[in-house]
Structure 1
Amino acid sequence: MGVWWWSIFLAAILFFHDFCASEIAPNYSFMQNATSAPSVSYYDYIIVGGGTAGCPLAATLSQNSSVLLLERGGSPYGNPNITSLSSFGAALSDLSPTSPSQRFISEDGVINARARVLGGGSCLNAGFYTRAPPDYVRDVGWNGPLVNESYEWVEEVVTFEPPMRQWQSAVRDGLLEAGVLPNNGFTYDHLYGTKIGGTIFDQKGQRHTAADLLEYANPTGLTVLLHASVHKILFRHKGKIRPLAHGVIFRDAKGAKHRAYLKNGPKNEIIISSGALGSPQLLMLSGVGPAEHLKAHNITVVLDQPLVGQGMSDNPMNAIFVPSPLPVEVSLIQVVGITHFGSYIEAASGENFAGGSSPPRDYGMFSPKIGQLSTVPPKQRTQEAIDKAVEYMNQLDDTAFRGGFILEKVMGPVSTGHLELRNRNPNENPSVTFNYFKELQDLSRCVQGIQTIEKIIDSKAFSKFRYNFMSLPTLLNMTASGPINLLPKHSNASTSLEQYCKDTVMTIWHYHGGCQVGKVVDQDYKVLGVDALRVIDGSTFNYSPGTNPQATVMMLGRYMGVKILSERLAK
């Protein structure tokens, strides 16, 4: 083959990849609205949840099996509020019943969101992509080479190196001055020190999600049904010993009921990939959970499993707004400082911190419009408080929004809570408590994180992006100079960093738990006490992997798909 011909061939491959990665929606022949589904159907695998884990899992299993993927939301394609970086947060602020984001408020009072769209949280997040640390992989017992292969499989489709501009570069260099060493440059790996991570936004600012991984699927082996809300997993008793999952009941957008069953076969399974809220919720609605709680909701108990819904955690996030005398670029998360004391330092700047250069400023990463309100403590974040914050924000001059946020989030955390049903409607949110900062170790990490942010702000590298007269206490306590995310007023003259952490805590949307390994599922993610049922998603995590979990959740879908197919073929 001549060099010229080879060059043309490579150019064609790159063009095809760029075309597939463009904003043009893929023509997935296997994707349809659930209203077109038959009333009864049969498959080798039924996956409940087309999210960050469900999409790569379905794409993998379809290579050698018939797979049904049921997603309660719609398609992300063609929706600029999902696909465009410049519209980040618009979906999170959409409170309509058809929004790709479903808002929930934990019992702690922190406003949060869960995905309701094909691709899951990868359609809503800030895009940062980074792998789990090697000790995480070792501790959970995963196969290292297969983990790396699975990450690479994901990265071929959805990841990019972000453009580093002045403000993010200043944060990076400030982290290094603050002692968060060494400088690890651009890498997907989780390494102590400061690094530039990957992003799922391409150079044109277009988002690529877990749904894009369905381009790997065998179209003859996969059926994806949108707007398919699963109400219940069906069980029968196998030899009157263990319950056997054999089907699901779901409803389409018109309310019509459908049943999907597993084909006869010893290796066929139902797999729940509905996320940290949806997976324990569906187990309970199907009769697997704490017996007394299920009985209180008139749910027939299939298996008394008191640990379903336990171990719920959300990584607490606190941020400081830093006004800048100079204009700054629009950026989401690009740099991270991975500290030894258990806090991660990240930053966002420009319009994306508050939501636009002119009113209405609705959609930024730290906008009260999307629930990121910390001008009042968690329990006081009512809709009235949100409306007042948005109204105030819209009255400010554009210069008030010039700057960015530097945030810290607690690794882990040690504090945990629980999830319970409110009712038997799978489309409504369960009740969830995260118990932010219940354990003093988490509070200590937050304080150390804030102190590290102070060092960044005071660094020489960051000097041109700060006002010299604004010390950390000034930034913490200002209540009129900055637009949003300002410290609540207290009767005492000064507020401790511990109190600041408690009062201004927000979410970074990394909640997990509820179906943890060793408690609800085994090492192969099979639900303990029943047959033909697994849970594969972030609900199985004991703590969130790495600085941001999406890479590992996508990896896990691919990883377990490969393992399950290997087991199937071996038989």
Structure 2
Amino acid sequence: MQHEYDFIVIGAGSAGCAVAARLADSNAGTVALLEAGGHDFHPAITIPIGIASTVPKPGPYNYGYATEPQPALDGRIGYQPRGKGLGGSSSINGMIYIRGTPSDYDRWAASGCEGWAWDDVLPYFKRSERNERLGGHAEDSWHGGQGPLDVADTRSTNPFDRRFLQAAQSAGLRYNPDFNGIEQEGVGFYQRTQRDGERWNAARAYLHHGNRDAINGGRANLDVLTEAQVLRIVFEGRRAVGVVIERDGKQVTLRARREIILSGGTFGSAQLLMVSGVGPCAHLKSHGIPVVHDAPGVGQNLQEHPNLKLQQRVSSTDLYAFSVRGAIRLYGEWRRYKRDRFGMFASNIAETGGFVKTDPTLADPDVQLHFSTALSDPAARSAHGYSLHACVLRPHSRGQVLLASADARTAPRIDQNLLADSRDVDTMLAGMRVARRILDQQPLARLGPVPHNYGGLRFDGTDDDAARAFIRAKTDVIFHPVGTCRMGNDAGSVVDSQLRVRGVEGLRVADASIMPMLIGGNTNATAIMIGEKAADLVRGIERSGAAGLERTRAAATEEALAEGER
């Protein structure tokens, strides 16, 4: 381990892996990638079904945060898993590859985020992606075929996924073969970040490619330091010049000659800024933290996708459960997985779903569906069944992240403020009506399912008071937090459109925390895109959405001057 680098990247999650690898590959200088957790080689990470063990509770790969009590959820305390270790949350997520809609990014640009419209970000999505449907070709209009992040079709053949798709089409929803193509609306199979039936997280994509002996990918100018807890960013005046880390029981200061890129995630980045003296002045002083820069927006604007599920019990070993019959089935599936990497162990348990407009006049879908081939109920682990999730894609409610302590090793206080805006309840109710309509169709109903968590509620308008009470009693989140270091061009934003932290120098943020607004879908692909684009911003490079060209700003200026002279 050196003690001085050109660049220090804090956090080896989805965005951090991309930033560090691209900077190192460009020979921009020496790079240190710091990760508080450990390696990502455990079968619980590499085998897709391992999410059943990593997500439900805190552990070596999951911070497992608890939220503040949520007033609009009957005072319940929520649960917020976040990945720990190389790959970050891409090591424990559902692997679903979704980008949102072009209008999501056009709204970013319209809100003051210059350079973040759809035409600006599409080249980065394509650059990061190796979609197996392209068969190794460079790209098409929507996808990349030679990037580091493998995007694959399902390797599961669960008959309940096909029954769900048939039921959804019977309910009037059309089949969509590509949610990241020309149109998002419809139902279908999700593509996932997998290769050959194994999870392909950001660390395998950008760092080590599955090689245990070279976690830096053999790059001489990249040091990947695991078990390195960053305690604070060091400032000289208003310039970030280094970080204090704790590793092997010792505190060490690492210095950055050029820049520090903070990729600690929606909770971690806001927390580390605040413990380092960048955040709301009064809040920092209340924890005895010297203020480097009064930034009221740090920790604010927290957004999450509210999620609610309808569950039905069906006695079938095609559905996951901790039962004797289920164990016998899974034993056979394990042998199949070891042989050919197909089947139930290759599944993320949410292979299918879709996007719906609860109001046909909407420009974009406002609800996402995930069909799960298991009951999502810890109290019914031995019962076979399935779940249909509905999540509100663009909620109006906003929460915040605050410090519980001046110590970065202490979990922050997370207040999602979920469903505080009644419009989110209205959208969820509309989504529940769609979900119930699908479950009532014959491809599923003819199996004689028994309602598991919703009793006789029909969501058909006959008892909206009971339906709204159910929503407040059962809604949680689908683990897509964003927004606490908001990007924008106004004084309240935390970073500008170059991802530079306002009010200080030598410091950028690159992760999901910079999103000004939630996108319409799972957020991991977007976090990776942010990391890709951040590396170019550091290097002063732009990519044209129209032609996919790369050029430096200096070269562009020279071209403009030459054109003027002509």
Q: TM-score, normalised by structure 1?
A: 0.76
* Counterpart pick for 2:54 among 67, 91, 101: 91
Question: Structure 1 residue 570: deviation in Å?
Answer: 5.3
Q: Distance in 2 between matches of 1:557 and 1:95?
A: 26
Which residue number in structure 2 is paired with residue 110 of structure 1?
Answer: 78
* Counterpart pick for 2:530 among 556, 560, 565: 556
* Counterpart pick for 2:160 among 150, 161, 167: 167
Q: Indicate yes or no: 2:357 matched with 1:340.
A: yes
Question: Structure 1 residue 462: deviation in Å?
Answer: 2.4
Once the two structures are superposed, the pairs formed by residues 277-296 of structure 1 within 5 Å of their partners are 277-296=267-286
Q: Distance in 2 between matches of 1:128 and 1:119?
A: 15
Which residue number in structure 2 is paired with residue 42 of structure 1?
Answer: 4
Contact 2:128 2:528 in 1 (8 A): yes
* Counterpart pick for 1:135 among 100, 103, 119: 103
Question: Structure 1 residue 218: deviation in Å?
Answer: 6.8
**Matched position secondary structure for 2:404:** coil
Question: Structure 1 residue 103: deviation in Å?
Answer: 1.4
Q: Distance in 2 between matches of 1:367 and 1:53?
A: 31
Which residue number in structure 1 is paired with residue 256 of structure 2?
Answer: 262
Relative distance call for 1:496 and 1:168 in structure 2 (3 A) is same
Q: Distance in 2 between matches of 1:153 and 1:336?
A: 26
Runs of 4+ in 1 over 6 A off after TM superposition: none
Contact 1:415 1:437 in 2 (8 A): yes
Contact 2:103 2:118 in 1 (8 A): no
Structure 1 unpaired stretches of 5+: 1-36, 238-242, 355-365, 369-388, 479-485, 488-492
After superposition, the C-alpha distances for 1:94-117 in whole angstroms (9 at most, x for unaligned) are 534xx1101111112112212211
**Matched position secondary structure for 1:198:** coil
Which residue number in structure 2 is paired with residue 377 of structure 1?
Answer: none
Q: Distance in 1 between matches of 2:150 and 2:55?
A: 21
Once the two structures are superposed, the pairs formed by residues 1-400 of structure 1 within 5 Å of their partners are 37-38=1-2, 41-63=3-25, 64-65=27-28, 66-77=30-41, 79-96=42-59, 99-107=60-68, 108=70, 109-141=77-109, 142=116, 144=118, 147-156=121-130, 157-163=149-155, 164-180=157-173, 182-189=174-181, 191-204=184-197, 206-212=198-204, 213-215=206-208, 219-237=219-237, 243-252=238-247, 254-263=248-257, 268-329=258-319, 330=344, 331=347, 332-341=349-358, 342-349=366-373, 353-354=374-375, 366-368=376-378, 389=379, 393=380, 398=382
CA RMSD of aligned residues (A): 2.4
Question: Structure 1 residue 55: deviation in Å?
Answer: 0.3
**Matched position secondary structure for 1:548:** coil
**Matched position secondary structure for 2:419:** coil
Contact 1:62 1:218 in 2 (8 A): no
Q: Distance in 1 between matches of 2:299 and 2:485?
A: 6
After superposition, the C-alpha distances for 1:437-466 in whole angstroms (9 at most, x for unaligned) are 111111011111111111111113323444
Paired residue type of 1:74: G
Question: Structure 1 residue 93: deviation in Å?
Answer: 4.1
Structure 2 unpaired stretches of 5+: 71-76, 110-115, 131-148, 210-216, 320-343, 359-365, 543-551, 555-566
Paired residue type of 1:155: E
Question: Structure 1 residue 89: deviation in Å?
Answer: 2.6
**Matched position secondary structure for 1:101:** coil
After superposition, the C-alpha distances for 1:395-446 in whole angstroms (9 at most, x for unaligned) are xxx5xx2221111011121101111111122122111111111111110111
Q: Which stretch shows the higher mean deviation, 294-303 or 103-112?
A: 103-112
**Matched position secondary structure for 1:462:** helix
After superposition, the C-alpha distances for 1:46-89 in whole angstroms (9 at most, x for unaligned) are 11111011001111011222111101101111x11111123223
Q: Distance in 1 between matches of 2:540 and 2:207?
A: 20
* Counterpart pick for 2:392 among 410, 416, 428: 410
Q: TM-score, normalised by structure 2?
A: 0.76
Contact 2:58 2:81 in 1 (8 A): no
Contact 2:498 2:537 in 1 (8 A): no
Paired residue type of 1:222: L
**Matched position secondary structure for 1:57:** helix
Contact 1:57 1:558 in 2 (8 A): yes
Q: Distance in 1 between matches of 2:479 and 2:495?
A: 23
Question: Structure 1 residue 152: deviation in Å?
Answer: 2.8
Paired residue type of 2:168: L
Question: Structure 1 residue 127: deviation in Å?
Answer: 1.4
Q: Distance in 2 between matches of 1:529 and 1:70?
A: 24
Contact 1:234 1:248 in 2 (8 A): yes
**Matched position secondary structure for 2:291:** coil
Question: Structure 1 residue 338: deviation in Å?
Answer: 1.0
Q: Distance in 2 between matches of 1:551 and 1:112?
A: 19
After superposition, the C-alpha distances for 1:169-192 in whole angstroms (9 at most, x for unaligned) are 222222222233x32214433612
Q: Which stretch shows the higher mean deviation, 272-281 or 163-172?
A: 163-172
**Matched position secondary structure for 2:63:** strand
Q: Which stretch shows the higher mean deviation, 213-222 or 509-518?
A: 213-222
Q: Distance in 2 between matches of 1:52 and 1:558?
A: 10
After superposition, the C-alpha distances for 1:314-353 in whole angstroms (9 at most, x for unaligned) are 211111111225443555222222122321111110xxx3
Contact 1:325 1:465 in 2 (8 A): no
Paired residue type of 2:254: A
Q: Distance in 2 between matches of 1:151 and 1:530?
A: 29
Which residue number in structure 1 is paired with residue 503 of structure 2?
Answer: 529
Relative distance call for 1:215 and 1:85 in structure 2 (3 A) is closer
**Matched position secondary structure for 2:241:** strand
Relative distance call for 1:327 and 1:463 in structure 2 (3 A) is farther
Q: Distance in 2 between matches of 1:145 and 1:287?
A: 36
Q: Indicate yes or no: 2:533 matched with 1:565.
A: no
Q: State, as a whole percentage, how many aligned pairs show the same letter.
A: 26
**Matched position secondary structure for 1:88:** helix
Contact 1:245 1:269 in 2 (8 A): yes
After superposition, the C-alpha distances for 1:359-404 in whole angstroms (9 at most, x for unaligned) are xxxxxxx243xxxxxxxxxxxxxxxxxxxx3xxx46xxx5xx2221
Contact 2:107 2:117 in 1 (8 A): no
Contact 1:281 1:421 in 2 (8 A): yes
